[in-house]
Structure 1
Amino acid sequence: MALSNNNSKRAVLGTGVLALAGLVSTPVLAQDAQQIIRDRCLACHTESGSAEAPSFSRISEQRKTPEGWLMTINRMTHLRGLELSRDEKRELVQYLADTQGLAPDETQDYRYLLEQDTNRVETGIDQGLAETCARCHSGARFSLQRRTEQEWKYLVDFHMGQFPTTELHSLSRDRQWYQIASTETAAELSKRFPLQTAEWQNWQAADKTDLMGRWRITGYVPGKGAFDAWMSAAKTSEGHYDLSLKGHYADGTALAGEGKATVYTGYEWRASLTIDGVKMRQVMAADKQGNLMAGRMFTAAEREIGGELSAVRDQGKSGLVAVQPAYLRAGESAELTLIGQHLKGDIDLGEGVVVEKILSRSDDRITVLAKATGAEGQRSVRVGDTELAGLAVYDALARVEVLPKDAVARIGGAGGKMPKVRAAYRAVGYSAGADGKPGTEDDLRLGYMPARWSIKPADEVAAHDKDDKYAGSINAAGIFTPGDAGPNPERKMSANNVGRLKVVATVADGSGQVEGEGNMLVSVQDFVRRVLD
């Protein structure tokens, strides 16, 4: 397993997603981008094929995400002296992502990397690939590339040439690393992630839907809470949009923003917006029909501070998209907000759930006072002829899951050039389900729940070192802020403020309360990321 908020991945790919968000340029013509390659790249690369279908060595044998191509271009700039204007870089990324990108089916298992959801422990990585590749960066890094077998071999050679100490690292100095990587690993990568796939051929042939129009969006911003809004995307050129956004947080506070978006490969949405004075980034993927988008939104300054985001196109018909909150305790009255579009007709919250009072109602937002009885389980909510299975009725809260389960924060500040890297937590509630035993497959997920947040030492060593005093603190919104960088004279041998903690969420349940815990590692500054940013 590899913790996917490692230095190199966060540094290079993170820089790419921030640079890509909201890029705006004139429509890209294939011949224009190809001419840029001829003018700027053929000092090292070669061209073959026909004028109508040119092939460029070491370029045409690869496929990557927009961030992957930007990473390559930036590497050529920093290490090989490539000179490109900002507009030329934009045109190349657009062209390469559109013509040599990844299909939706090829990215769906690894979107957390594109969305900068970095506090995640990867699982299911092939042991051989974990030992040769994922020991230095995330498994998603190489899983979001497609190459010929020869190109995978060239990548091994690049690592040896650029990072000659690779063979001296852990999990390499005890074996013939280069021989294994250039034969077995390259062959395995070629088998798992080949250049030519049916998914890519099908996506190239598919009709792409323009993403202009009005979108009903729901999401979450740490420190602000859940929100719903309308987002309008006005097309300015092919694949480029001006955005405006207006809506409300769950507590009723208004939000508004505007920005720009670019779409790559026919479905990869990258947007840059300013919402209530804060610069934000959106990374989403559209479905194959172009009517749904899902991903993540985070602050431009701190990609770790963000939350999930979904968008449903307004097609002029009734549709429910969310219920906030997504749970109702049996026997208690509580407010529920139904979010959607063109919501007309009678309200039905499912078996045993009664609408006691309609508190407010519009075509896209209905708030009711509701009370539930009957067996616990999922209920389908209806408004007129639209339905959504989005409400969980439960008897008692059995357990609380803290997300992320494992997180890394980094000390910083204190007059230095490197800011602190924070982390944002949320609490998810579960009932015991049909078998009455918490922690089994029968558990009923209730959704995100408000919690009281605290920290404590991770173990006896952390308690002895008073990590909970020095390593950082967590606020009422679940945002953890690490300690200052530099030596701390209050600590033994003036050690810095790193440490290991448990993050505790305490959720009220009737007259009682239930706790859940997550892991926090407070580490040193990410020097690699700072240099590359």
Structure 2
Amino acid sequence: MPMTRRPRLHAALRSSLRALSPLVVPLAAALAGWLPASAQAFEADSLVRQKCSGCHAPDAQGRLARIEEMRTTPEEWTVIVDRMRRLHGVKISTADMDQLLKELASTQLLTPQEQARVSYLSLWHNAQQMEDPAGKDEERFFATCVRCHSAGKVYSYRMTPKAWAKVRDTHLYTIPTVVFQLREMRWIDEADAMLGWLAGQLPYDKPWTAPATRLDGRWGVFGWQPGRGAYRGQAQITDTGKLDYRVSGSITHADGLGEDFRGEATLYGGYALRTRTVNNGLENMGAFIVEGDRARGEWHLPAPDFRTARATWLRDDGSAKIARVLPGYLLAGEKTTLTVEGLNLPEVRAADISFGGAPVKVLSARRIAPDALQIVVQSSGAKVASAALSVKGIAAPALTLAPRIDHIAITPETGRARVSVNDDHPAEGVQFEAIAYAREGKRKVALGPVPASFQLAEEKTREDDDDMRWLGAIQESGNYVPLVDFGSNPTRGLKGENSGYVKVLAQYRRGKQTYKAQAHLAVTLPDLIGRLR
């Protein structure tokens, strides 16, 4: 090529690279979490190789059979490794289990988006997620698999077609009675058909690579406990090495009561954070998904101090950040006091608040704490709409404008509680919550939780229905924990169990308007084989 053409070529290359750069950066970010399909996930000196390769022989590329053909959650890897111990005699100490889970999660973990779909199973608690099939394929899947497992357990896996096909044989080996339990169908044929369908729906794709995640530092904590309301506070996370952390902090609830917590945490796969803390003397477990400087998830305390709380943690890097706005909706004609919560919030006045042109008048605004602003507003919105709130240019979550509350509904629609057996299987409760809705034509729009009062009532399902006598009462806040134990009751007909099915009634007053809603509570037997969830 003549020398005189090189400057023109270089200019063309620079122009092409500039044009491609907006595409290259997102593509690189999208691929950053994946290993090449041919890569070997575990080094020769890894504990996975030492403990597992005796049975799971490496293939020609050095990949361990079955293990490197699936991705799942830390909880399901716990179930799998424990099964190797129980059924196949693998010698695993507590320290071994800890290290194995970290190694497995570094490459054989769901993506954060896949994990979010099944996050309701992350805490081994009495999840109230209602699973319904969508379409004929899922109806067939539910009939074949969800008789015993939750759909979420199955959706917690991504496997190769070969690995999915072997699930049938695993069932026949460990639970051969499945063929007779589901004798109304040809279970082996149905299982083969469903496993083929699942292989297409939930493919293995590629191994996961844990991103570099930095957790140590100060974090703001912003949560919501159904039945009690909002809380906020601060946490300190300290890196103690080997993907383990020390966690401590304090929160203050809306009722003014404080809560200190201290404990430890483990980060799996660069994003799946599992906390184990003691909150005011009570053992607490948490499951969070970390994305950059934000972590979202749940805290859970078991019975008898049962409660579950949603929370978002924000890293405190010194900049101003808005985490949430309470309440998240405005009703036309009402004067509403909004609380804007976040980190390092500035001093403000009414002129600093913008609703992006929405019909909202700001009456006053002030900072009440470094992490909270108080804004008094009045909406004149005549229809359901969204309002983009910003404070001195700092974006906040949008609010919903509505002319009125149309009705309330209780969640869960049918709550499930479990009676206790012993200390290993304590009672499992339910927290009911009332949600306000507006209506836009035929569409229902959720506005947010409201402080309703709850009570139970008999749901007559038989002539001598006496469920209310044995199931006890629900707290006015909607919290229910069974007080009866597992076993036959000699004073009930046929010496029946202490189980039952009753109505849950909620009532909420706002001004002169009273709203009512109804749901149901099923109190049933203990979950003695939790790993099947």
- The interval holding the TM-score normalised by the smaller chain is 0.7 to 0.9
Is the alpha carbon distance of 1:124 and 1:495 closer, same or farther for their aligned partners in structure 2, counting shifts above 3 Å?
closer
Is the alpha carbon distance of 1:417 and 1:239 closer, same or farther for their aligned partners in structure 2, counting shifts above 3 Å?
closer
Which aligned pairs between 1:338-349 and structure 2 lie closer than 5 A? 338-344=340-346, 345-346=348-349, 347-348=352-353
Which residue of the partner structure matches residue 313 of structure 2? 311
Which aligned pairs between 1:132-531 and structure 2 lie closer than 5 A? 132-169=144-181, 172-181=182-191, 183-195=192-204, 197=205, 200=206, 204=209, 207-222=211-226, 224-287=228-291, 290-300=292-302, 305-344=307-346, 345-346=348-349, 347-348=352-353, 350=355, 351=358, 353-354=360-361, 356=363, 361-375=368-382, 377-412=385-420, 418-433=425-440, 435=441, 440-441=442-443, 443-458=444-459, 460-461=460-461, 464-485=464-485, 486-529=487-530
Identity %: 26
- Equivalent residue of 1:123, what SS? coil
Q: Say whether the 8 Å CA contact 2:303–2:428 is kept in structure 1.
A: no
- Equivalent residue of 1:194, what SS? coil
- Equivalent residue of 1:220, what SS? strand
Structure 1 counterpart of 2:236, which letter?
A: S
Is the alpha carbon distance of 1:39 and 1:267 closer, same or farther for their aligned partners in structure 2, counting shifts above 3 Å?
closer
Q: Aligned partners of 1:175 and 1:331: how far apart in 2?
A: 60
Is the alpha carbon distance of 1:101 and 1:503 closer, same or farther for their aligned partners in structure 2, counting shifts above 3 Å?
same
Q: Say whether the 8 Å CA contact 2:274–2:286 is kept in structure 1.
A: yes
- Equivalent residue of 2:55, what SS? coil
Which residue of the partner structure matches residue 41 of structure 1? 52
Aligned length in residues:
482
Q: Tell me the TM-score normalised to structure 2 length.
A: 0.82
* Alpha-carbon displacement from aligned partner over 1:63-116 (angstroms, at most 9, x marks no partner): 221111111111111222211121111111100111211222333322222255
Per the TM alignment, residue 392 of structure 1 is displaced from its structure 2 partner at its CA by 3.6
Q: Aligned partners of 1:302 and 1:285: how far apart in 2?
A: 27
Which residue of the partner structure matches residue 68 of structure 1? 76
- Equivalent residue of 2:399, what SS? strand
Is the alpha carbon distance of 1:444 and 1:150 closer, same or farther for their aligned partners in structure 2, counting shifts above 3 Å?
closer
* Alpha-carbon displacement from aligned partner over 1:431-477 (angstroms, at most 9, x marks no partner): 234x3xxxx31x3322111011011223x326841323322321022
Per the TM alignment, residue 160 of structure 1 is displaced from its structure 2 partner at its CA by 0.7
* Alpha-carbon displacement from aligned partner over 1:18-64 (angstroms, at most 9, x marks no partner): xxxxxxxxxxx954862x34543344333455xxx743233222222
Which residue of the partner structure matches residue 4 of structure 2? none
Q: Aligned partners of 1:306 and 1:275: how far apart in 2?
A: 13
Per the TM alignment, residue 271 of structure 1 is displaced from its structure 2 partner at its CA by 0.9
Q: Aligned partners of 2:264 and 2:133: how far apart in 1?
A: 36
Is the alpha carbon distance of 1:243 and 1:294 closer, same or farther for their aligned partners in structure 2, counting shifts above 3 Å?
same
Q: Aligned partners of 2:180 and 2:190: how far apart in 1?
A: 14
- Equivalent residue of 2:529, what SS? helix
Q: Aligned partners of 1:43 and 1:32: how far apart in 2?
A: 13
Higher relative contact order (CA 8 A, sep 6+): 1
Q: Say whether the 8 Å CA contact 2:415–2:432 is kept in structure 1.
A: no
Which structure 1 segments of 5+ residues have no match?
A: 1-28
More displaced 10-residue stretch of structure 1: 353-362 or 335-344: 353-362
Per the TM alignment, residue 511 of structure 1 is displaced from its structure 2 partner at its CA by 1.4
More displaced 10-residue stretch of structure 1: 105-114 or 401-410: 105-114
Q: Aligned partners of 1:38 and 1:380: how far apart in 2?
A: 53
* Alpha-carbon displacement from aligned partner over 1:179-211 (angstroms, at most 9, x marks no partner): 332x3233222222222x2xx46x53x853323
Q: Aligned partners of 1:274 and 1:425: how far apart in 2?
A: 24
Q: Say whether the 8 Å CA contact 2:502–2:522 is kept in structure 1.
A: yes
- Equivalent residue of 1:461, what SS? coil
Per the TM alignment, residue 164 of structure 1 is displaced from its structure 2 partner at its CA by 1.1
Is the alpha carbon distance of 1:487 and 1:61 closer, same or farther for their aligned partners in structure 2, counting shifts above 3 Å?
closer
- Equivalent residue of 1:473, what SS? coil
More displaced 10-residue stretch of structure 1: 500-509 or 109-118: 109-118
Structure 1 counterpart of 2:51, which letter?
A: R
Q: Aligned partners of 1:58 and 1:339: how far apart in 2?
A: 47
Which structure 2 segments of 5+ residues have no match?
A: 1-40
* Alpha-carbon displacement from aligned partner over 1:394-438 (angstroms, at most 9, x marks no partner): 44321112111122112236x8874322111111111234x3xxx
Q: Say whether the 8 Å CA contact 1:229–1:245 is kept in structure 2.
A: yes
Which residue of the partner structure matches residue 139 of structure 2? 127
Q: Say whether the 8 Å CA contact 1:130–1:139 is kept in structure 2.
A: yes
Q: Aligned partners of 1:463 and 1:310: how far apart in 2?
A: 48
